[in-house]
């Protein structure tokens, strides 16, 4: 296999795992947060920024790259790594979530999903085979199986039909997968129904793959519902393969899922919040647009060592957002990504020292704003 996973240690008090994901473009220490580079770029920052922050793997978006500039163009220019000048690992999603989000402009059949481009209205058909072919042309280290992401509270009959179709689509993805240029991960769906989750997990894991993911969370359910479901399902996933929770989430979501045994995460939350002036800090969340920061000489986060916090005051950052300066987006994004990547680094350290539960509880207190920085 082009990707190999090592499980190094399991925390004494939780299911949290310390591991390494070996890829053709380097080793990824897990648990890991993957910044989202939707269109071959993580919004507002450069690849040099990401390397300086310590990012070891990025996520690219099959749907968006298929529409623009097209996988053939990227493949012809040497693949996604060369195209975006990123020599570390890349994971691409399958387009399944975008199919979910395009509910008004798509139709799902056994063949695949037909949809209307959000760019120019053109019609497209994405099938399991086509999704795998696109991702392999892009040259990603890890590719995701094409699945349907049903709303978490869909009725039972629709969920049953959707899961059966996703299993059949996974079988087609596995048949189309080259096994040499990439590592295919299967995706488990099932909403909040634990019976369906367990059944679909057994169906997906019956197909031998390099890794497995949980999809269909953070799509409308309450965080407490998601946490309870992941806590039940994650420990049932194969122990010797990486476990990926897709599209989640807040710092509390991450540490809760790590405690359940999840290894990999991605989410647009830190970068999207940054572009709107919201920072994640050791003291909770900080809204830089708030007028109370207009004369505040303090650093955004007193314990953070990112470039933004080492260099600039809350007053300056608030000014940049008020003036609609582009620098505001970069500085805020640098901080939020540093916060998430540092959270995972500290999580790995805590797992190695068998104190992850204490660490997770501390993160929850800080996120609630009830704990002092220190």
Q: 221-240 pLDDT, tens per residue?
A: 999 999 999 999 999 999 99
Cα gap 203→184, rounded to integer Å: 16
The Cα-based distances of 364 to 250, 301, 359 in angstroms read: 10, 17, 9
Q: Where are the beta strands (DSSP E) in the chain?
A: 4-10, 17-23, 26-30, 32-34, 36-37, 57-60, 89-92, 106-108, 113-116, 123-126, 142-144, 183-188, 211-214, 243-245, 264-266, 278-281, 284-287
Residue 219 vs residues 69, 238, 339, 367: alpha-carbon distances, Å: 28, 25, 24, 21
Please report the domains of the chain, with CATH numbers, ordered by start residue.
4-267 (3.20.20.105), 274-367 (no CATH)
Around 17, how many Cα atoms within 13 Å sit in the side-chain half-sphere?
Answer: 25
Tokens of residue 130, six digits: 């086509």
Q: What is the pLDDT of residue 371?
A: 42
Instruction: Identify the sign of the CA torsion 219, 251, 16, 37.
Output: positive
Q: Which residue has the tokens 């072919």?
A: 133
Catalytic-role residue among 193, 253, 266, 301: 266
Q: Residue 220's pLDDT is what?
A: 87
How many CB atoms lie under 10 A from the CB of residue 257? Answer: 27
93 part of the active site? yes
Whether 21 contacts 28, CB under 8 Å: yes
Catalytic residue among 93, 147, 263, 301: 93
pLDDT at 48 over 80: yes
**pLDDT for the residue numbered 1:** 63
pLDDT per position as a tens digit, 99-138? 777 767 788 999 999 988 889 999 999 999 999 999 999 9
Whole-number pLDDT of residue 106: 85
Nearest to 134 by CA among 121, 144, 123, 122: 144
Per-residue pLDDT at 153: 74
pTM above 0.95, yes or no: yes
Nearest of 8, 18, 4 to residue 345 by alpha carbon:
18
The backbone torsions φ and ψ at residue 6, rounded to the nearest 5 degrees and listed phi first, read -110, 125
**Active-site residue 49, yes or no?**
no
pLDDT in tens, 329-354: 999 999 999 999 999 999 999 999 99
| Distance (Å, whole) CA 217 – CA 214 | 8
Taking residues 14-40, report their average pLDDT: 98
Helix (H) or strand (E) holding 176: helix 156-176
Query: Which residue is it, tokens 């909770």?
Result: 284
**Mean model confidence pLDDT for the chain:** 95
């Amino acid at each position: 296999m082009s990707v190999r996973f090592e499980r190094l240690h399991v925390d004494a008090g939780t299911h949290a795992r310390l591991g390494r994901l070996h890829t053709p473009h380097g080793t990824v220490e897990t648990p890991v947060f993957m910044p989202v580079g939707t269109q071959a770029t993580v919004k507002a920052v450069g690849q040099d920024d990401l390397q300086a922050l310590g990012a070891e793997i990025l996520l690219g978006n099959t749907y968006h790259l298929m529409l623009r500039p097209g996988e053939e163009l990227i493949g012809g220019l040497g693949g996604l790594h060369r195209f975006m000048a990123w020599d570390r690992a890349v994971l691409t999603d399958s387009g399944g979530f975008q199919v979910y989000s395009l509910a008004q402009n798509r139709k799902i059949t056994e063949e695949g999903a037909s949809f209307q481009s959000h760019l120019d209205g053109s019609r497209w058909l994405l099938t399991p085979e086509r999704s795998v072919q696109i991702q392999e042309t892009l040259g990603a280290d890890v590719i995701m199986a094409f699945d349907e992401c049903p709303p978490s509270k869909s009725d039972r009959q629709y969920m049953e039909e959707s899961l059966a179709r996703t299993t059949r689509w996974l079988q087609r993805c596995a048949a189309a997968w080259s096994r040499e240029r990439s590592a295919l991960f299967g995706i488990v769906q099932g909403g909040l129904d634990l019976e369906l989750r367990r059944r679909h997990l057994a169906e997906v894991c019956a197909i031998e793959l390099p890794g497995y993911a949980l999809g269909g969370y953070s799509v409308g359910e309450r965080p407490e519902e998601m946490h309870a479901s992941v806590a039940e399902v994650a420990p049932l996933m194969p122990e010797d393969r990486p476990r990926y929770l897709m599209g989640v989430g807040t710092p509390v979501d991450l540490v809760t899922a790590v405690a359940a045994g999840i290894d990999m995460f991605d989410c647009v939350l830190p970068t999207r919040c940054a572009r709107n002036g919201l920072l994640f800090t050791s003291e909770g969340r900080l809204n830089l647009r708030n007028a109370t920061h207009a004369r505040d000489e303090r650093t955004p986060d007193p314990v953070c060592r990112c470039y933004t916090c080492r260099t600039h005051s809350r007053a300056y950052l608030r000014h940049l957002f008020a003036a609609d300066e582009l620098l505001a987006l970069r500085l805020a994004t640098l901080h939020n990504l540093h916060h998430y990547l540092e959270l995972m680094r500290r999580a790995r350290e805590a797992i190695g020292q068998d104190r992850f539960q204490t660490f997770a509880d501390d993160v929850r207190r800080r996120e609630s704003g009830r704990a002092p920085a220190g």
